[in-house]
Structure 1
Amino acid sequence: MNTIISNGTPISYNLYGNGPATLLFVHGSFIDQRYWKEQVSFFKEKYKVVTMDLAGHGESGTNRDEWTLQSMADDVVNLIKELHLDDVILIGHSLGANLSLMAAAAYPGPIIGFIAIDNFKNLATPLPAEYDSQVEAIIESSKTAYADTNEQYARMVLVSAATPLWITDKVVNAFRNSYEPMGQQTLPQFFVMDRIERAALPLLKPKLNLINVNYMPTNVDALEKHAVNGYTLIEIAGTCHYPMLESPKALNEALDEVIDGVLEAKIIA
C-alpha cells in the first residue's frame, strides 16, 4: 500500500502494471479499493491500473474536521497530479463516479475517458418535492442511529432479496462500520447531487460512458437531456449495485469494450 498526502490526509493507493493508458478506479460510498480485485487482475496485464481509498475509507486517513464531496474529488485530482498520470480513463462506481465527474471537470487535461458503473440512473434530476420530508428524516436519523440508518438504506436501495447473501452481508457490514463523522457530514450532500452533476457535466470533455446493472432501471430521458457531450449505456444483468462482486466477468467484458472505444477515439482524434 502506498500513500500520498492530500488536503492534509493520507490517501492510500495501489499501482499495477503498465500500458497505453491509465485506468484509475474510484470506489463508492463506505467501501474500499479492494472491491476492484477482479478488475485489477483482469486489466493489469494490458494497462497501468491505479486504485485508491477515498478519505475516510479503507486505509486512508480520517483526520479531517470538515468532510465534503469537493475535497474528496480534489483528492482524486491530487493523486493524478502526484503520480504524474496521463491518458487517464476514470472509472467510478456509485459515489466514485460523481467524484470522478467533479475531478474530470476540474482537471480535464490528462483525462481521455470516463466510465461510470451503476450510477447516474437519474442524471442531474432532483428528487421530487414530496420526498423532502423523507430526506430530512434520513438525515436526522443518521445523527442518532448512524449504523442502523446506513444498514436500512443499503438493504432497501443497494441490494435485493435475490442478491447472494455473502454480498449483502459484506455491503451491510461496510455501511454499518463506516467512519461516522465522514458519513454524517457527506450524507446531506448526496441529496443535492443533481446540482453538482448539472454544474460539472458541461465541463466533462469525454463522452459519458455508463455500465449499469438492470436491477434498477436507467432514466434514458435524463441522459438524453443532460449528457451534453454524448453518452453510451451498457446494461448488465444483476440483482444489486455491486457488479464487481456479483458479475465480475460481465463487468470486465463491458469495461474492456468501453475502454477499447475510448482508445480508438483517441487515435482517431
Structure 2
Amino acid sequence: MKTIISNGTPISYHSYGSGPATLFFLHGSFIDQSYWKEQVSFFKEKYRVVTMDLAGHGESGTNRAVWTLENMADDVVNVIRELQLENVVLVGHSLGGNLALIAATRYPEPIIGFIAVDNFKNLATPLPAEYESQVTEIIESSRKAYADTNEHYARMVLLTPATPQWITDKIVAAYRNSYEPMGQQTLPQFFEMYRIEQEAMPLLRPKMNLINVNYYPTNVDALEEHAVNGYTLIEIAGTCHYPMLESPKALNEALDEVIDSVLEVKTTY
C-alpha cells in the first residue's frame, strides 16, 4: 500500500504489474479497493493495474470538512498525475463509475478507455417527480439514523433475497460502518448526479462501455439519447450490485473482451 496526498487527504493505492495499458479500478460507495482482488489477480500479468481507496473509504484519510464528489474525482486525477500513468482504461463500479466519468472529462489526455460496472442504468435521467418526496425522506432518515438507513438502502436496492448470505453480510456491514460525515454530505449529491452526467457525456472521448448485472434492468433508451459518442452494453447474470464478489469469472471475461476492443481501437489511431 502506498499513499499520496490529494486535497490535503492521504489517498491509499496499490500498483501491480506492467503492460501496454494501465487498468485503473475505482470501487463504489462505502467499500474499498480490496473488492477488486479477483480482477487484480486476473489482469496484473498482462497490464499495469492500479487500485485506490476513495477518500473516506478503506485506508484513505477522512480529514475533510467538506465532502464533494468533484473533490473525490480530483483525487483520481491526482493519482493518475502522481504516477504519470499513460494509456489508462478507467474501470469504475457504482460511484466509482461516476467519479471516473468526471475524471475522464477533466483530465482526458491519458484516458483511452472507459468501463462502468453496474452503473448508468438510467443515464443522465432524473428521478420521476413522484419520487422526490421519497428522496427527501431518505435524506432525513439518514440524518436521524445513518447506519439503519444505509442498511435499508443496501438491502432494498443493491441486494436481493437470492444474493448469497456472505455477500449480504459483507455489504450490510460496509454500509453500516461507513464514515458518516462523508456519507451524510455525499448522499444528497447522488440524487443530483444526473446533472453531472448530462454535462459530462458530450465531453467523454472514449466510448462508454457498460458491464451491468441483470438483476436490475438498464434503460437502453437513455443510453441511446445521452451516450452521444457511442456505447456498448454487456449484461451478466447475477442477483446483486457486486459482480466482483458474486460472479468474478464472468466479470473478468467481460472486462477482458471490452479491454481488448479498447486497445484495438487505440492501435488504429
CA distance in structure 2 between the aligned counterparts of 1:130 and 1:236, rounded to whole angstroms: 31
Amino acid paired to 2:64: R
Q: Secondary structure at the match of 2:50?
A: strand
Corresponding position of 1:154: 154
Q: Secondary structure at the match of 1:14?
A: strand
Correspondence list, 1:130-169, <5 A:
130-169=130-169
Question: Following TM superposition, by how much is the alpha carbon of 1:24 offset from its aligned partner in structure 2, in angstroms?
Answer: 0.2
CA distance in structure 2 between the aligned counterparts of 1:200 and 1:3, rounded to whole angstroms: 29
Which runs of 5 or more residues in structure 1 are unaligned?
none
- Residues 226-267 of structure 1: CA distance to partner in whole angstroms, max 9, x if unpaired? 001000000000000000000000000000000000000000
CA distance in structure 2 between the aligned counterparts of 1:25 and 1:253, rounded to whole angstroms: 16
Amino acid paired to 1:33: Q
Corresponding position of 2:47: 47
Corresponding position of 1:82: 82
Corresponding position of 1:265: 265
CA distance in structure 1 between the aligned counterparts of 2:26 and 2:150, rounded to whole angstroms: 21
Question: Following TM superposition, by how much is the alpha carbon of 1:144 offset from its aligned partner in structure 2, in angstroms?
Answer: 1.0
Which runs of 5 or more residues in structure 2 are unaligned?
none
CA distance in structure 2 between the aligned counterparts of 1:137 and 1:63, rounded to whole angstroms: 28
Q: Secondary structure at the match of 1:268?
A: coil
Question: What's the % identity of the aligned pairs?
Answer: 80
Corresponding position of 2:175: 175
Correspondence list, 1:1-269, <5 A:
1-269=1-269
Question: Following TM superposition, by how much is the alpha carbon of 1:220 offset from its aligned partner in structure 2, in angstroms?
Answer: 0.2
CA distance in structure 1 between the aligned counterparts of 2:179 and 2:119, rounded to whole angstroms: 23
Question: Following TM superposition, by how much is the alpha carbon of 1:182 offset from its aligned partner in structure 2, in angstroms?
Answer: 0.0
CA distance in structure 2 between the aligned counterparts of 1:136 and 1:218, rounded to whole angstroms: 25
CA distance in structure 2 between the aligned counterparts of 1:14 and 1:66, rounded to whole angstroms: 26
**TM-score with structure 2 length normalisation?**
1.00
- Residues 50-108 of structure 1: CA distance to partner in whole angstroms, max 9, x if unpaired? 00000000000000000000000000000000000000000000000000000001000
CA distance in structure 1 between the aligned counterparts of 2:223 and 2:133, rounded to whole angstroms: 27
Question: Following TM superposition, by how much is the alpha carbon of 1:8 offset from its aligned partner in structure 2, in angstroms?
Answer: 0.1
Count of residues in correspondence between the two structures: 269
- Residues 118-141 of structure 1: CA distance to partner in whole angstroms, max 9, x if unpaired? 000000000001111110010011
Amino acid paired to 1:207: K
Q: Give RMSD over aligned pairs.
A: 0.3
CA distance in structure 2 between the aligned counterparts of 1:260 and 1:135, rounded to whole angstroms: 40
Amino acid paired to 2:174: A
Amino acid paired to 1:201: M
Amino acid paired to 1:58: G
CA distance in structure 2 between the aligned counterparts of 1:114 and 1:69, rounded to whole angstroms: 18
CA distance in structure 2 between the aligned counterparts of 1:156 and 1:113, rounded to whole angstroms: 32
CA distance in structure 2 between the aligned counterparts of 1:75 and 1:228, rounded to whole angstroms: 27
Q: Secondary structure at the match of 1:201?
A: helix
